[in-house]
Amino acid sequence: MRILWILRGIYGILRHNNRKREGIAMERELRAEIISCNANNEEICASAARISTTAGDAREIFENARGNPKNRSLIGKVLASGHKSLIEHAVFTIALRNVSVFTEQFLIESRLASFTVKSRRYVDFSNLGYYVPPELEGEDLAQYLSYMDHLFEAYQALLEAGIPREDARFLLPYSFHSNFYCTLNARELGHVLREIRYGRGREIPELQDLADQLIEQLEGLFPCLLPELRPFSGGSPAMEETPLCHSSAVPVYLPQREAGAVTLLNAPSEPQKLLEAAYRMQHPGENRPFDMENLLKSQRPRELEQLAYTFAVSDVTLSGITHLVRHRMQSIVVPSVTTVDHSRYIVPDTVSAVPSALKRYQQAVEEAHDTVKKLNGPLRKYHYYFALSGNLMNVLTTMNARELQWFIRLRSCNRAQWEVRNIAVELLRQLRHRFPELFNRFGPSCFVSGGCPEGRLSCGQKDTVVSLFQVLR
């Protein structure tokens, strides 16, 4: 087996070099580029620092800040005193190019940032490449390239066999290139950079590279932030090497129907009373009986935010987690990809239904599983890039009823990806059992409002979907 891997690796290096000569290298330069920011960041933040203690209206204070040489020192003094909110007025949009999906997952957990990501459901990733750690060389590099190339080939073979992209992607390794936009304010950007430098990301060379690029750009665009990039108080805790997890000596395959099992862990004991109390607070002096239907028709149903529900969702694919974490108004606990169990894999129904595709899928998984078990040296350190998008993890999330209303409306729709749709439907089923007076009214847009927002992309099965959610219990 070792000789086979060496031969494959030599072939991989030759093919990798040939791709470079042809201009379609699988390894492309990763970049984090600030493509947009406020035109007057320092003036705006300095104005925010002055407004509470300076005479004049907001516009006058801003005009007086234009070209004021004391702006930067003032911002520094206010930040040093612990008042950080002023730099929330400085906003940046970053284009992230050819970073690994592992890095995407790390960044997208920043709850106060906005992300738009290239979809793996609609885009063919066959030739979009993957990240290669620069330190790898010789036999380690050969084995890494061979592993990644074989998975990309299997992914492409599934596409050619008619498997949908959203299911073929479960074979993509977590090194594959992602491209996305991230918009965040300077305070959150500082938090992200400190987390990379001194927190969870400090042993990840790819993240360090991106931090170097961003800090270099900030030196010219917003140097006020640089003093904030200090180590966490008390220093950085010692990093413990995360053990490479294999719970089984052979791959464990989970059928589609068992993915994303939902358990409601916590719910308000008297939700009706909470809603009515919040409603009375919002409408002082109103004597009309509390009406659930009118509450849900409100353009601002803040009362729903008083009801918090906690769910455990087990056996979610790494791909499925990316759908869940896009909902910003939740408290979600997601384990690091560095802790993934490399033994457990999803098998989607579309693959199971085609014997040749199933054979290729399982062959790719088994080869990947055997390789990861034997990783050592530098490769073992980078085992998170060897994870497959179809590997499974468990997550915990808490959402209030207003966010649940939006989550269920989007994710229980027939247009949603099947894994997150199944989670949303099962989540709704348990909520209806717990508090039917409210949650019997929740469902996809066609059920809730009678219309479909998908336009020409509509599933065309409105009546069937509405009937399904009328009887869902």
Catalytically active residues, by annotation = 411
First to last CA, the chain: 53
| Helix ranges, 38-137 (H) | 41-50, 58-65, 71-80, 101-108
| C-alpha count within 13 angstroms, C-beta hemisphere, residue 163 | 28
- Dist. CA 425–CA 414, nearest whole Å: 11
Angle at 188 between CA 186 and CA 194, to 5 degrees: 100
Secondary structure class of 338 (helix, strand, coil): helix
**Which residue(s) pair with 347 in the sheet?**
255
The one-letter amino acid at 439 = F
3-state DSSP assignment of residue 19: helix
- Tell me how far apart the alpha carbons of residues 193 and 30 are, in angstroms, rounded to a whole number: 17
Place of tokens 């990240």: 131
Secondary structure of residue 366 in the 3-state scheme:
helix
**Cβ–Cβ < 8 Å for 194, 202:** no
Query: Among 335, 344, 394, 347, which residue's Cα sits nearest to residue 369?
Result: 344
Contact 248, 254 (CB under 8 A): no
Q: What is the DSSP letter of 227?
A: G
31 φ, ψ (degrees, to nearest 5): -140, 140
Amino acid letter, residue 164? P
Q: Are strands 91-100 and 114-117 parallel, antiparallel or unpaired?
A: unpaired
Whole-angstrom distance, CA of residue 207 vs CA of residue 464: 47
